[in-house]
Amino acid sequence: MTTRDTTTPDTTTPDTTPRHTTSQNTTHRDPRSVHVIVLGAGYAGAMAANRLRSNPHIHVTVVNPQPFFVQRIRLHQWAARTGQPQVGFDHLLADGIRIVVDSATRIDAPARRVHLAAGTSLDYDHLIVAVGTRHAVSVIPGAADHGFPVADWDAAQRLRRHLGRTPAGESVTVVGGGLTGVELAAELAERGRPVRLVCGGTIAGSVGNRARRATLAQLGRVGVEVFEHGRVVDITSATVTVADAGESRVLPSAITILATGFEAPALAADSGLTTDAIGRLRTDRMLTSVDDDRIVGAGDAIAVDGLPVRMSCQAAQPLGAQAADVVLARVAGEPVAQADQAFVAQCTSIGRRAATLQFTRRDDSPAPVVVTGRLAALAKEVVCRGTVWNIRRESKKPGAFRWMRGGGPAAAQGSAPDVATSPPASADRDLTRR
């Protein structure tokens, strides 16, 4: 029996009510049971938690800063007041999963213990790290004081409130021409705001030339002023300075939004675990920490040896499923398979009535097929709904989720590629791509 999440959309106050609770005491358990903690309940963490329930002897605790699931690919809609990214855990996670509304501050790997911001700690037998990423600190002068990131729930809340206090006729600057910057600029422009989009290179650099041209045309139709190859070199509360071809211009900007890069939270590094240059937990091909085989990673928060994957829900959900499979295999004493997955498409919304759907090869490189306009917008909406449907289905039937594989070790051993249960394309969340 669970309680419905009653958090209101605009609140940022943590709800400490446990949901899907099995027991507050993890010390006196059935000796046959195994306790697995999942840090983070995003696309990867929620998928992993549900999949773990296929073993009735595994007790799952999810630690998450919010008492609800945040659909990250809708954060630009939340900021623009065109969509709702929240989904209650009661509608997403399997019964029997314990929810702790808190944030992990340190992992004590030798003791198998996680320390939380509230001052408490949790012991584990196995740990899945799926804490996602956050906006990287910008080096642009004035960005820390006057810029508004949108890479996570709290940042999107602040931006939404500030937009609500700013007259609709005031200019908005979006810094960063990756797919997230494109989506946010288009969403605000379609709502009637004057928006400019500034990027240091070409717009939407991760897609092909045809898709890029289509994206530019659709941005023009909703009224976004695009500055390709320009650089924002200074931000104040009312202006941005843009350098282009050796010249600098000071332009009015009542709101400056930063869509310029991601980094992982400091959790892994602060815990003494090996990380990459942006703080992601380094794992082997089995998604296992190179420091401790009781720690498995999933989603945007990890750097997998030999398996480069774009930060996206398209990658996060299969990684979450495979992280759970690693733990399930170890608990059962079975061989652990190497991670193997592929990409299908990149889909970028251009407001509510248009989008660019760039199909890709399995290695995520652009394929010749591009779909634009209303049909692409419909596909993007199907994708957004499909990500939630995948997690919900896994909660009802652990092990049901399947994904496209990329011809890695599993395929080499003769396994046939799996077909995704819903269209797996997603908005690119790697803001550093231009």
Q: Which residue has the higher pLDDT, 185 or 27?
A: 185
Residue where one domain finishes, among candidates 339, 354, 376: 339
Confidence of residue 432 (pLDDT cuts 50, 70, 90): very low
Average pLDDT over the chain, rounded to an integer:
88
Q: Is residue 267 over pLDDT 70?
A: yes
What's 237's domain CATH number?
3.50.50.60
User: Is 255 in the same domain as 268?
Assistant: no
User: By residue range, what is the domain housing residue 276?
Assistant: 34-133+264-339
Residue 237: band (very low, low, confident or very high) from pLDDT cuts 50, 70, 90: very high
pLDDT tens profile 363-421: 999 999 999 999 999 999 999 999 999 999 999 999 999 999 984 443 333 333 333 33
pLDDT band at 115 (very low <50, low <70, confident <90, very high): very high
Q: CA-CA distances (angstroms) from residue 306 to 234, 291, 309, 347?
A: 38, 17, 10, 25
Structure confidence at residue 64 as a pLDDT band (50, 70, 90): very high
Strands 295-297 and 126-129: parallel
**pTM value?**
0.87
Q: Who contacts 8 (Cβ-Cβ below 8 Å, separation ≥6)?
A: none
Residue 84 shares a structural domain with residue 166: no
Segment 37-55 shows an average pLDDT of 98
- Using CA atoms, how far apart are residues 96 and 93, in angstroms rounded to an integer? 9
Chain-centroid distance, C-alpha 1 = 29
Residues 153 and 166 in one domain: yes
Instruction: Check the CA dihedral 219-223-228-234 and report its sign.
Output: negative
Check whether residue 254 and residue 269 sit in a common domain: no
In a domain, 389, yes or no: no
Residue 84 located in a structural domain: yes
Domain termination residue (choose one: 237, 260, 283): 260
The pLDDT of residue 30 is 54
Together in a domain, 175 and 233:
yes
Q: Are residues 94 and 238 in the same domain?
A: no
Look at residue 245 in the predicted model and tell me its pLDDT: 80
Q: Would you say residue 172 lies in a domain? A: yes
Q: Are strands 34-39 and 126-129 parallel, antiparallel or unpaired?
A: parallel
The structure tokens listed for 81 are: 């007041």
pLDDT, residue 246, reads 80
Same domain, 331 and 273: yes
Give the pLDDT confidence score for residue 394 in this predicted structure.
Answer: 98
pLDDT over threshold 70, residue 141: yes
Is 1 inside any structural domain?
Answer: no
pLDDT-above-90 percentage for the chain = 80
For the cut 50, the answer to whether the pLDDT of residue 10 exceeds it is: no
Q: 268 in a domain, yes or no?
A: yes
pLDDT given for residue 417 in this prediction: 32
3-state secondary structure at position 405 = coil
Asked, for residue 169, whether it belongs to a domain, the answer is: yes
Q: Are residues 161 and 224 in the same domain?
A: yes
Q: Do 119 and 198 have their domain in common? A: no
Q: Which of 32-36, 252-256, 340-344, 421-425 has the lowest mean pLDDT?
A: 421-425
pLDDT at 331: 97
Structural domain includes residue 353? no
pLDDT at residue 32, as a whole number: 64
Tell the residue number behind the tokens 């011809």, with chain if given. Answer: 407
Residue type, position 422, single letter: S
Q: Is residue 241 located within the same domain as residue 270?
A: no
* Residues 319 and 242 grouped into a single domain: no
Evaluate if residue 200 carries a pLDDT over 90.
no
**What are the CA-CA distances from residue 244 to residues 8, 83, 166, 250, 358 (Å)?**
44, 35, 28, 11, 29
User: For the chain, how many structural domains are there in total?
Assistant: 2
Given a cut of 80, is residue 167 above it in pLDDT?
yes
Residue 395 lies in a domain: no
The residues, ordered by sequence, that sit 6+ positions from 113 with a Cβ below 8 Å of its Cβ are 107, 121, 122, 123, 124
* Residue type at position 31: P
Q: Are residue 171 and residue 85 in the same domain, yes or no? A: no
Cβ atoms of 140 and 241 within 8 Å: the answer is no
The last residue of one of the domains, among 260, 289, 323, is 260
